[in-house]
Amino acid sequence: MRQLKLGSGKNITPELRKFALTLHYYSPSAYLYIRKIFSKALPDISTIRKWYTTINGLPGLTRESFQAISIKVNEMKNIGKQLYGCLIIDEMSIKQHVQWTGSRHQGYVDYGQGGGTDSMDNLPYAKDVFVIMVVGLNTHWKVPIAYYLVNGISAEEKSNIINSCLHQLHETGIIIKTITFDGAANNMSMASLLGANLNYADLKPNFKHPLTEDNVHIVLDPCHMVKLIRNCLGDWGLLFDKNNKPIKWIYFKHLVDMQNVTGLHAATKIRTRHIHYHREKMKVRLATQVFSNSVADALEYCCKDLKNKLFENAEATIEFCRRINNIFDLLNSRNFLSKSPFNKPLSDNFLNLNIFIDESIDYLNGIQCLEKPPINLTKTI
């Protein structure tokens, strides 16, 4: 290894480049240790980041995206403003397929290291794509900055990629304030490795930026969270609020059955597919249309006005339905002209929203399940 010591202007062999990229991808700390032990025989971290960048749309960090962000930063500076952004990450399943493009095979696991096709013989097929996107917080734009073709990706690998992205974004001048992802267990572990703690007992929903030491705040994807709440109530069937009043999934089923029998719909969008959601778990609207004000109004009408025995003691379920609807509106707010007070971002009712948030946290903390310790929805989801 000492013979590979890099001098000024010396070329790096393809084998050394591939080794350096692979080692840094799996463990940056191990890379720094080996580089130190072998007298800096391996390239500097800044060189690694340049190698990760790509053009032509290949996996890795996309150079053009960072150039576009730099232009946005300069445009904001010209009007005396700082550009702020949010980092969004997600994984998506892709078809396992390998295709020859004329210069290389595509479809194998690829995290941006490049390399020839002779090095891909032993690589597994990619079955997922890990995507990173930046969204402007004080401007209206979004741009994907990187993607990786993977066959499963660990929390440590994700945290390494996030840190690389934060380093590269810092060079453009944008300030990343938040990172958004869904509630998968793998992402929770990634957050812990970054320095956050999403366990409710010792909640710390932020971590330090690797360069500036500023807080980067974590926002769990509201769309995924509302699906988890629906799955929780739908699978368990029965929950209890802090006053031990029942919250029952069966009330939603009774409402759908009544609509089907009478042929009349109480101004709701809930149908049979909303009750039997297991084959369509990924569709957000099937969850948000269950926990909606229109459904809460219909349940309240059946309970209080019609006094239907099937809806006796549905008050707690009605309250749960309304509160989840309002919480989702609050977390999904973006329209200043919305008629809903919970759907207006940074409006005049800011103090009222703070009170609602505190009340909602207390409400969710009190949710319990039958014959088991209290399940904390703010922790579970």
Domain boundaries, the chain: 1-43, 53-220, 224-380
Percent of the chain with pLDDT over 70: 91
What is the pLDDT at residue 222? 94
For residue 259, how many other CB atoms are within 10 A of its CB?
A: 17
> pLDDT at residue 170 above 90?
yes
pLDDT in tens, 264-307: 888 899 999 999 999 999 999 999 999 999 999 999 999 999 99
| pLDDT value of position 3 | 43
- Provide the mean pLDDT of the chain: 88
Lowest-pLDDT choice from 98-107, 147-156, 169-178: 98-107
* Lookup result for tokens 């500023």: 214
* Residue 196 clears pLDDT 60, i.e. is over it: yes
What residues pair up with 84 in beta bridges, in sequence order? 175
Counting beta carbons within 10 angstroms of the beta carbon of residue 194, is it exposed (0 to 12), middle (13 to 18) or buried (19 or more)?
Answer: buried
Comparing 35-39, 58-62, 127-131, 238-242, the range with the smallest average pLDDT is 35-39
Query: 189 versus 380: which is more confidently predicted?
Result: 189
- Token representation of residue 213: 């030491």
User: Tell me, what's the pLDDT at 118?
Assistant: 46
What local confidence, expressed as pLDDT, does residue 11 receive? 75
